[in-house]
Amino acid sequence: MSSPSATAGHAVPPTLEDALALGLTRAEYELVCEKQGGPPNAVELAMYSLLWSEHCAYKHSKRLLRSLPTEGPQVVIGPGENAGAVDVGGGLVCAFKVESHNHPSAVEPFQGAATGVGGIIRDIFALGARPIAVLDSLRFGEPSGARARYLLEGAVSGIAHYGNSIGVPTVGGEVYFEAPYEHNCLINVMALGLARREQLVRSAAAGAGNALVLLGAATGRDGIGGASVLASSELDSAASGAEAGAARGEDMRPTVQVGDPFEEKKLLECSLELLERGLLVSLQDLGAAGLTSAAAEMAAKGRVGIEIDVARVPLRETGMQPWEVMSSESQERMLCVVAPANVGAVLELCEKWEIGGAEIGSVTDGGRVRVLAHGTLVGDAPVRALVDECPLYDLEPQRPPAATYPAPAAVLADEATAAETLIALLGSPNLSSRRALFEHYDAIVQSRTVRRPEQADAAVLALPDGSGLAVSIDGNGRRVAADPYRGTIEAALECAANLACAGAQPLGATNNLNFGNPEKAHIAWQLSESVRGLGEACRALEAPIVGGNVSLYNEGATGAIYPTPVIGMVGRLPDVSRAGRLAFQRAGDEIALVGPFAPALAASELAKLRGEALPEGLPEIELEAVIAAQAAVCEAVRAGALSSAHDIAEGGLAVALAECALAGGLGATVELGEELRHRLSSRPPGPSSGSPARWPLSALYGEGPGGFLLSGQAPALSELGRCTPVATLGTVGGESLRISAPGAELSLALGELGRAHARLVELFA
């Protein structure tokens, strides 16, 4: 972020050109002048440019987000706080949220991803909850490219460094490789925490005369204009490759925050002890836009004013101007409101935990953010103008007349056999084992983790009373690109299906909407349709949105990313000892296909491998039938009636069978007969113009919501037929996977399947 003016607010005020350079439009600058009663000085212009940025103000998405469901019987805190929270029983609440650090990670992947973890963890303990888990959702270009590998390796290292060091387990996540993410990777991180309901704290400032205390690390120039500015504009995608990416990161390094997980660990423990001792009135994380955002938003929520003297802010660099202090996004900092009588006790506790603590200002009743420097006023703006009166923009959506994204290069011939196709899918970047990545992460620290990566469809964490939490994070940008409305519904259903396979019912959801430039008509259409689908799905699932994040302008010279809504969902299961597993457990168990599964090849992983263009739409979804199937599977898992449960997702039925077999070290013999052929070929109608359903490829490798692969004893599987379709497929056993279908036969040893599935491990070993 460049200086608002050469004089930093002294003799010469900033100009319109300064405002434009900071991301404001001409009309917005004129509105700022109107709100201020004249041209703003350097500090004031910096504050407006930050708080009126897309990242902070959501000016192209806020009106859309108001259509989402946010209330439910389990919701304790909904959107508007640092994180949302749901009741999980026993007097406990689970706080959770997902956020992005896309643009900073594209500039400097290690620190961008690391500070993304640090920021979302602060959102959790800012509510008074102890962080208990992290999940990540990542998108990169094809792994054959040098830049994609540079970004991936840096991001995974950054996530592992921060999460492992602070002692919060990384229990799950996902990663996809697609060409549209080549220059604009996505780094979305979800965190969740636990708190006693009565210990939750809000961020609203209150009580004129109360002190404002800054906790944590000293403030520097790192991160000035980082998340708020980078995330509000398109990236320059001209640089490519690992060396170019690194050079570009060096040039833009001042805009990327630098994290210290050990400092955050101390800050976490100090903050929770301050809350436990009742020493804080309110607490707020310093993230994007730093002190400017934290102070103004606390004031807005409490309908009060705030006064800060930047000369009292502990600095680690000399010569910082007031606008720099207010704009800095230095990490590991919290802002709290404290009654004057408790300031001494707060600072004493800071000394105990060896973190910085400084009284930097006070709450006022003037409704303004006043910035002082050694007692001299250097900035003064109305709270409402900064936070509540940013102009909001109506989107102008228009469905594009033709496909927006080029077809991928074909890597699998049309004449490939069923066995060759399964091997290719298992070894493809989007479906192969993630072990090479998640083994960087500590998944069991804190000793709550019951199901970790590749053990179940959802991560499962134990609660003190013997119940459990299941959590999943999902999204599929390619399918959303084909149909933003139905693709987003599918993503929400996939999240809920993962919970069902663990035995959990959804309590609430969070979302991260990653899209391109909303000022373009086709991107506006993608965003509008996606939000419409998200709202419909979450209402049907009774999983209200309790918070989230919007990341726009994810594009550069080569075009936009796939529209990528990422959905995180939390559910509860009454008996954690009965949490579901995806692995086949016992030879002789019967295998069944359960649910209203209607597979199609359009926009599938197989279609990608064959180089097929995206269709213009996906098949219709039998929403009520799919949710009924999820409920039936959930109840069967809870009852202990199943040996394994795995939903059918990318790669279709054959890939799901292979995953269950590999996870359990047990093969299977399966037959898809004529009756099943008829059922799987009768897809719901839809606008899809992609590849037609081709038997047996569609049955083996087609995709769509509503399918579950279960194993167990025959009576238990048959009982599910009361609620949802059930088709017996075969039995568990042996050392190979054998699939027989009209027109296709395959028999592959587990060793061969395993070698294919480990290809990503080999690539990043």
Examine residue 662 and state whether it is found in any structural domain, yes or no. Answer: yes
Mean model confidence pLDDT for the chain: 92
For the record, the structure tokens of 401 come out as 């007349």
Does the active-site annotation cover 678? no
The model's pLDDT over 33-69, given as tens digits with 9 standing for 90+, comes to: 999 999 999 999 999 999 999 999 999 999 999 999 9
Give the neighbor-by-neighbor strand order of the sheet with 459-462. 449-451, 459-462, 468-474, 564-573, 505-514, 545-551
- Of the candidates 10, 60, 101, 183, the residue annotated as catalytic is 101
**pLDDT greater than 70 at residue 226:** no
Does the active-site annotation cover 183? no
Examine residue 649 and state whether it is found in any structural domain, yes or no. Answer: yes
**pLDDT greater than 80 at residue 281:** yes
Total structural domains within the chain: 1
What percentage of the chain reaches a pLDDT higher than 70?
Answer: 92
**pLDDT greater than 50 at residue 10:** no
CATH of the domain at 711: 3.90.650.10
**pLDDT greater than 60 at residue 231:** no
Are 645 and 581 a contacting pair, CB within 8 Å?
yes
**pLDDT greater than 70 at residue 141:** yes
Give the DSSP H or E segment for 285: strand 282-285
Examine residue 601 and state whether it is found in any structural domain, yes or no. Answer: yes
Examine residue 765 and state whether it is found in any structural domain, yes or no. Answer: yes
**pLDDT greater than 70 at residue 670:** yes
- pTM to 2 decimal places: 0.93
Examine residue 666 and state whether it is found in any structural domain, yes or no. Answer: yes
Examine residue 718 and state whether it is found in any structural domain, yes or no. Answer: yes
CA dist 719 to 512, 591, 625, 715, 716, Å? Answer: 38, 14, 17, 6, 5
Secondary structure string (H, E, C) spanning 343-388: HHHHHHHHHHCCCEEEEEEEEECCCEEEEEECCEEEEEEEHHHHHC
**Preceding amide of 401 cis, omega within 30:** no
The model's pLDDT over 164-185, given as tens digits with 9 standing for 90+, comes to: 999 999 999 999 999 999 989 9
Question: How many Cα atoms sit within 13 Å of 401 on the Cβ side?
Answer: 0
Q: What average pLDDT does this structure show over 419-446? A: 95
**What pLDDT is recorded for position 690?**
41
Domain of 672 in residue numbering reads as 581-765
Examine residue 764 and state whether it is found in any structural domain, yes or no. Answer: yes
Examine residue 320 and state whether it is found in any structural domain, yes or no. Answer: no
Going 140 to 145 to 151 to 155, the CA torsion angle's sign is positive
Q: What is the dihedral of CA 97, 100, 105, 111, to 10 degrees?
A: -30
